[in-house]
Amino acid sequence: MFDYRKLFDLTGKKALVVGAGSGIGEAAALGLAAHGAHVLCADLNLEGGQKVTEAIKSSGGSAEAIAFDMRDGEAAKKIVGDLTDLDVLVSTPAINVRKELLNISEEEFDRVISLNLKGTFRLITAAGRNMKARGKGSIITFASIRAHTVEPGQGVYAATKAGVLQMCRALAAELGPYGVRVNAIGPGVVETPLTLPITSNKDWYNAYAAKSALQRWAQPHEMAGAVVYLASDAGSFVTGTLTLVDGGWTAVDGRFTPPL
């Protein structure tokens, strides 16, 4: 008989969390470790990764910090490619340039695309090759509600998040026969270092809070449940999906004009 008590048990699993030094990545790393995974806390800011690693260890978990720059294509592919025993990949980093499309320069366009889309491509394909060879694994990327919805000033960012989702769907179809699952998570508005320019603006903060059904922003730890679910046996028949963790944002029909 199946042991339902072990649905979320990650004991013995190795997980790489890219962007683990703060925000959603930090929450993902802490959540995976709390359920038994050995977590590689990878971040451009090694000090941040080390801080999270120490927090995990102080709680009785297992972790190590890795310096990781998604912008360095060859290094990123090698680090992930060398992890032949990787069970779980979580990719969280992204950047945004908030401008109307007519005002976006090609340099800004390339910068956002290079990290959000190409960087994610590097990670999921490098991990995917190893997981395909092993016949198991779970790849989890962070897309956004912007994969489905958009607002003025979010065109390039939204395009990358829609692209991340479609890459995940394609990879899920390609790797499904080999026992590898690929999924995306779509947060709404979350209080992280990335959203600090918005959260520090009271009018903008309140406008975003009012947009969702729950009438508030999310905290990073509220993303960890979806990560653990998709990484564990609880999500063993889930692949090719976008799991929305948006407080009902996409369920509510409302419009507002954000400041640009």
Listed by start position, the domains of the chain span 4-244
99-109 per-position pLDDT tens digit: 999 999 999 99
Rounded to an integer, what distance in angstroms lies between the CA atom of residue 200 and that of residue 195? 9
Encoding tokens for residue 250?
A: 């996409």
Identify the pLDDT of residue 193: 84
For residues 176 and 131, is the Cβ–Cβ distance under 8 A? no
HSE-CB of 26 using CA atoms within 13 angstroms: 20
> What amino acid positions are annotated as catalytic residues?
157
253 — pLDDT class (breaks 50, 70, 90)? low
- CATH code that applies to domain 4-244: 3.40.50.720
Encoding tokens for residue 142?
A: 């962070």
Identify the pLDDT of residue 259: 59
* CA pseudo-torsion sign 77, 171, 6, 234: positive
Encoding tokens for residue 67?
A: 């310096």
Rounded to an integer, what distance in angstroms lies between the CA atom of residue 183 and that of residue 216? 26
Identify the pLDDT of residue 254: 59
Q: What is the mean pLDDT of residues 159-170?
A: 98
